[in-house]
Homo-oligomer: A and B are copies of this chain.
């Protein structure tokens, strides 16, 4: 059955099930002119949106509808994580070609509901419309954060460490593998998974938010995200190439595409790890609280005017002008 036969209301019925996983904060979910939510007293409200266009942001020849649904929510939850917040609700707008199969739509929503349930996030509304062209998905995420835990980009101070929550470059290498269909997919599976089903670091973000001075999620590559912090905080960020963490899989495969792991990390993007700055004293406290977690200092904050310098493997410093991910590339 294609979606045209199903109709908008048939589609809403199909979607409506299992959307509310945390009902205490929802007075009215899908089905009225607007959803009605009950905000938590004394919390700030967070809101962010991402639009994904078929052929620009995803390619259905290598992402399944389940993965697409999962990922389109994941990248939004990551934005809330980057503020130190708790994602609470999402609003989903989707433009679908009339001839698309209903099973595709079911799988898309299954992916969305899968990650929404894992993170206790309610799907409270949205819009489903037809298009003559490619699929477009817009996710708006609403979250909450305590005022004292709010993490912005502008709080980095000279002397702070700059730290990442996990290995970088995997996602971009996974994309190269998918685009070129060149590698043995089984061996490269962790890289491909990093690209197709990124894991938003919400839980870590909540802990880090107690100690950090600024935070970003790494959607556009380490260089670009460090630059945003440097500019917003009016400091310089000194990254140390020797300290950037890589996965074994990336180290084994980066060369395949004549790129270095460092290039993938700096300019690749879509890792959705967190990048944050923190005073050296608070870093010790954070390490204690996290114990087994692989956070990694990748550099330091200096007085400056918004530059990002990279200490290369040979010890020389270069000024990085991020040339990474650009929506209008």
Any chain B CB within 8 A of the CB of A181? no
Docked Cα-Cα span, A145 to B34, in Å, equals: 11
B126 near A79 with CB under 8 A, answer: no
A51 near B8 with CB under 8 A, answer: no
A48 near B131 with CB under 8 A, answer: no
Docked Cα-Cα span, A168 to B193, in Å, equals: 53
Docked Cα-Cα span, A224 to B59, in Å, equals: 37
User: Assuming the A-B contacts A33-B82, A36-B83, A83-B36, are A49 and B125 also in contact, with contact meaning beta carbons closer than 8 angstroms in the complex?
Assistant: yes
User: Assuming the A-B contacts A7-B326, A79-B33, A216-B33, are A49 and B91 also in contact, with contact meaning beta carbons closer than 8 angstroms in the complex?
Assistant: yes
Partner of A132, one of B48, B55, B91: B55
Any chain B CB within 8 A of the CB of A142? yes
Cβ contacts A8-52/B at 8 Å (1 or 0 each): 100100000000000000011001111111110101111111111
A34 near B51 with CB under 8 A, answer: no
Any chain B CB within 8 A of the CB of A134? yes
Residues of A142-169 at the interface with B, using a CB-CB cut-off of 8 Å, are 142-143, 145, 150, 152-153
Contacts of A45 in B (CB 8 A): 36-39, 45
B328 near A130 with CB under 8 A, answer: yes
Docked Cα-Cα span, A56 to B134, in Å, equals: 13
Any chain B CB within 8 A of the CB of A176? no
The segment out of A93-101, A262-270, A284-292 that lies at the interface is: A93-101
User: Assuming the A-B contacts A28-B152, A56-B132, A127-B51, are A93 and B138 also in contact, with contact meaning beta carbons closer than 8 angstroms in the complex?
Assistant: yes
B34 near A83 with CB under 8 A, answer: yes
Residues on A lying within 8 angstroms of B by beta carbon are: 3-4, 6-8, 11, 27-28, 31-39, 41, 43-53, 55-57, 79-80, 82-83, 85, 89, 91-95, 98, 124-134, 136, 138, 140-143, 145, 150, 152-153, 216-217, 232, 326-328
9 contacts between A and B (CB under 8 A): A11-B328, A28-B152, A33-B153, A35-B48, A36-B45, A45-B45, A49-B93, A51-B95, A93-B138
